[in-house]
Structure 1
Amino acid sequence: MTDTRERRLVDAFLAATGMVVGDYDVVEMLQTLVDDVAGIFAVDAVGILLADPQRRLEVAASTSEASAFLGLLQLEAGEGPCIESYETGRTVSVADRQEMRRRWTHFAEESERAGFASVHSIPLRSHTAVLGSMNLFRRAPGRLDDQDATAARALTDVASISILQQRSADQAARTRDQLQRALDSRIVIEQAKGFLAHTHQVDPDQAFTMLRGHARSAGRPLREVALAVVERRLAIPGPAPADAGR
C-alpha cells in the first residue's frame, strides 16, 4: 500500500474503533465503513447485508444503487456470493464472470449488466455468530491481493465488534428501562396506598387490596390506577362498614 492508502486505512480503523467506545448509529457506522472500503481498496462498489434478529438479511449500506440492487437481487433469489458468505461464515471470492456464471447464473447476468466482473464477499462474524456480509464489487476481473483482503477482513471484524456491542448495549438499556419502570411503578403504588390508607383510615395492606381490586374490576393496569389516585383523577370508595346491611 502507498503511504496515502495506509493513512486512509489507519483513519478508517480509528473511526471504527471510535464508534466502539462511543455512542453511534449502526447504519451510519456501516455507511462510513463501505465508503472507506471503496476509497481505500481497488474496488468499484461496496455493499453490506446485515441479518435482523430473525436472521433475515437486509441491505444495510451501499456505495451505489448498483451494489444495493445486487444485494437485493441475491435476497430475492436466495443465492449469490453475499448469501453464501453469510451462510457459511467464510470469505467467497469470485475472480471472473465465467466462474460467476458457473455458480450463480441469474446473479452473474445481473452483475454483468451492472458492469461488474468480480466480487469479494467477507462475513461479518464474531466467534459465535455471523451477522451479515460485506461485499466488494469490481469492474475488472481478478481477486483482491492478499494484503487488501486481510485489511478488509480486519475492518469487517471491527464492524462486527461494534454491532455486537450495540446489540448488547440495547439489551442492557432495555433491561435498565424495564427495571426503572418497575421501580417508578412501585413508587406510585406506594403513594396511592398511603393516600387511600389516610383517606379511608385503613392499614396499607387494606389500601393495596382496594387498589388492586379496583384495577382488576376495571381491567386497567395497577400502575395506571395508582397514578390516577395520586393525581386525584380517581376516587376509590372505602370499605363498607362492618355493620352495613344489618
Structure 2
Amino acid sequence: MSMENLAETFVELADTLVADFDPVEFMHLLADNCVTTLEVDAAGILLVDHHGELQVVGASSDRARLLELFELQHRQGPCMECYLTSAPVTIASFTESPQRWPEFASMARAAGFGALHALPMRLREQTIGALNLFTVGEGSLPEPTLRVAQAMADVATIGLLQAQVISHRDLLAGQLQHALQSRVLIEQAKGVLAERMRSDMSQAFETLRRYSRSHNKHLSAVAEGVIAGTIDMTELVATKDTDPRAR
C-alpha cells in the first residue's frame, strides 16, 4: 500500500462526492478501491434501508455479494453484528473451531475465503451500515491497514450523510432507498445482458459500468434502459471504457 496509491484513493472518493453523485456507483467504487488499495481479495458493503433492514449495495465480486446475502437471509453473522454494535468484528480464520457462526464460516470457506474484517460505517452516533473485507489467506490485517480501511468507510459515510441531508432524515432514507431499488434494477439488467452476451454476471456488470462511464449516465439509468430495451445492445457491448478513473 503505497502513499501515492493511498492519496489517489482518497482524492478519487472525495471527487465523487458531488451534489448529484450516484450512491450505487459510489459504493462499488469504494469496494473496488478497498481491493486495490488495501490489498484484500474482496470487499462488500451493507447499508440499512428505511425499514431498518440491512441490504447489500456494493461488492467487488459475486462471491462476496453472495456471502453477504446468505448472512442477511439468516439474520446473523459478523457483518450484521458489526452494524448492530457499531464496533469492528474480525474473524482471523474460518477454519478454526468452534466458530461463532458455523454456517457463515462454512459458506466463506466454500467461497475460498480464509478471514474477514467488518468495519462500521458510522458518523458520531449514527451507524448506517458495514464495510466488509475478505481475504483468501487467514490472519488479521495489520493495524495500519485497518486504520486506513476505517478512514475509507468514514469518508463513504460522510458522503452519504452530506450536509443537505443530515438535517433531513427522510431525505437520507429516500436516498438510501433509491440506492437499494437501483441495486435490484442493476441485478436484473446484469441477467439480461449476461444472457445476451453469453457471459457471466461479472462481465455483464463491467459492461454496464463501461457504458455508464463513457456516456456519463448513472448506472441505475443504464440498467433501466437495458431492461426497457431502449439502449442499443450492440453499442453497449462494444463500448470501451474511456473513464480515467478505471485505470
1:43 pairs with 2:40: yes
User: Do 1:101 and 1:109's aligned partners in 2 also have CA atoms closer than 8 Å?
Assistant: no
| Separation in 2, partners of 1:134, 1:172 | 22
Give the alignment's TM-score, normalised by structure 2. 0.65
Q: State which structure, 1 or 2, has the greater radius of gyration over its C-alpha atoms.
A: 1
| Separation in 2, partners of 1:131, 1:22 | 20
User: Do 2:82 and 2:119's aligned partners in 1 also have CA atoms closer than 8 Å?
Assistant: yes
1:132 pairs with 2:125: no
User: Do 1:100 and 1:108's aligned partners in 2 also have CA atoms closer than 8 Å?
Assistant: no
CA distances 1:80-134 after superposition (whole Å, capped 9, x unpaired)? 1110100100011110124575110100110000010100000101112111001
Distance 1:170 1:74, change over 3 A: same
| Separation in 1, partners of 2:106, 2:148 | 29
| Separation in 1, partners of 2:108, 2:116 | 9
1:121 pairs with 2:118: yes
- How far 1:153 moved relative to its partner? 0.3
**What residue is the counterpart of 1:79 in the other structure?**
76
**What residue is the counterpart of 2:11 in the other structure?**
14
CA distances 1:184-216 after superposition (whole Å, capped 9, x unpaired)? xxxxxxxxxxxxxxxxxxxxxxxxxxxxxxxxx
Query: Structure 1: which 5+ residue stretches go unaligned?
Result: 175-246
Q: Per the alignment, in what secondary structure is the counterpart of residue 45 of structure 2? A: strand
**What residue is the counterpart of 1:62 in the other structure?**
59
User: Do 2:47 and 2:130's aligned partners in 1 also have CA atoms closer than 8 Å?
Assistant: yes
| Separation in 2, partners of 1:167, 1:124 | 19
User: Do 2:27 and 2:58's aligned partners in 1 also have CA atoms closer than 8 Å?
Assistant: yes
| Separation in 2, partners of 1:39, 1:80 | 25
Query: Structure 2: which 5+ residue stretches go unaligned?
Result: 172-247
**What residue is the counterpart of 2:160 in the other structure?**
163
| Separation in 1, partners of 2:128, 2:103 | 25
- How far 1:21 moved relative to its partner? 4.5
Aligned residues: 171
User: Do 1:101 and 1:108's aligned partners in 2 also have CA atoms closer than 8 Å?
Assistant: no
Distance 1:55 1:97, change over 3 A: same
| Separation in 2, partners of 1:170, 1:26 | 19
Q: Per the alignment, in what secondary structure is the counterpart of residue 141 of structure 1? A: coil
Amino acid at match of 2:8: D
| Separation in 2, partners of 1:72, 1:98 | 21
Give the alignment's TM-score, normalised by structure 1. 0.65
1:165-180 to structure 2, matched below 5 A, reads 165=162, 168=165, 171=168
When the two chains are superposed, the root-mean-square deviation of aligned CA atoms in Å is 2.2
- How far 1:20 moved relative to its partner? 3.0
Q: Per the alignment, in what secondary structure is the counterpart of residue 161 of structure 2? A: helix
Question: Matched residues, percent identical?
Answer: 33
**What residue is the counterpart of 2:234 in the other structure?**
none
| Separation in 1, partners of 2:33, 2:11 | 12
1:166-245 to structure 2, matched below 5 A, reads 168=165, 171=168
Distance 1:167 1:29, change over 3 A: farther
CA distances 1:48-95 after superposition (whole Å, capped 9, x unpaired)? 011112211110000111000011010011111110100100011110
Amino acid at match of 1:50: L
